[in-house]
Amino acid sequence: MPDAPGLELIRGEIDRDHPGAVLATSYDRAQAALIADPAQILDVLDWLKEQPGHRYDFLSSLHAADYLPNQPRFGVHYELINRDRVERIRVKAMLEDATPAGGADLGDHHSPNASGGGAKSGSGPAGHAPGLPEIDSCVELFPTANAQEREVFDFFGIVFRGHPNLTRILLPDDYVGWPQRRDFPVGGEPVTFTYSEQRYD
């Protein structure tokens, strides 16, 4: 992975093409990370994927973290790999918590899609509960993000605008709340996980 000076060089190159897209860099415990403006996350990911000399063209992981009580509260982490050089870089986008004061956001959060089916590719989700943090989906850039974005939505309530089918992936469709948020009530009630008889050929 790039060292600290190399990370700053990458930031400078991205800034020439997309001013302000990278807000900061982090090099902690041998983890190189670009802190991206959430509004320009697709510009940063596309640049890292397509730019000659970089070509981080495989998304190995997309996951989230809840940094409560810090603000911005949520981090969406993208782990990109250049497989030719066996080199890894992390991109992180920080999202504000828009939950009303007074605790966990436990409203009617079955699916962000009003019809119950998937939103059409390229369209923003409709019908999700107000106040959920949002960021653009990167599924068109990295198809491996499809299930991973659904998992982040399922457990953290982060909406990925433009995802082709942003529905819960492990928890039941009628489950209420986001169980990996740090303010989610713990314990007490067993969860029946989703079972589907749909077959994929």
Q: What is the pTM of this model?
A: 0.81
DSSP 30-72: TEEEEEE-GGGHHHHHHHHHHSTTT---EEEEEEEEE-TTSSS
126-184 per-position pLDDT tens digit: 446 668 999 999 999 999 999 999 999 999 999 999 999 999 999 998 998 999 999 99
Name residues whose C-beta falls within 8 Å of residue 176's C-beta, 6 or more positions apart in sequence.
106, 107, 108, 109
pLDDT band, very low/low/confident/very high, at 194 (cuts 50, 70, 90): low
Sheet containing strand 31-36, edge to edge, reads 22-28, 31-36, 87-95, 74-82, 58-66
The pLDDT value recorded for residue 14 is 96
60-84 per-position pLDDT tens digit: 999 999 999 999 999 999 999 999 9
- The DSSP output letter for 129 is P
- Alpha-carbon Rg for the chain, nearest whole angstrom, is 18
Tell me the domain boundaries of the chain: 4-95
Beta bridge partners, 65, equal: 75
The pLDDT value recorded for residue 200 is 56
The pLDDT value recorded for residue 4 is 79
CA atoms within 13 A on the CB side of 86: 0
pLDDT band, very low/low/confident/very high, at 185 (cuts 50, 70, 90): confident
User: Are β-strands 87-95 and 31-36 bridged in parallel, bridged antiparallel, or unpaired?
Assistant: parallel
Q: How far apart are CA 88 and CA 139, in angstroms?
A: 19
CATH architecture for segment(s) 4-95? 2-Layer Sandwich (3.30)
81-133 per-position pLDDT tens digit: 999 988 999 999 999 987 655 445 544 444 444 333 333 333 334 446 668 99
The pLDDT value recorded for residue 109 is 44
Chain centroid to CA 99: how far? 18
21-61 per-position pLDDT tens digit: 999 998 887 788 999 999 999 999 999 999 999 999 999 99
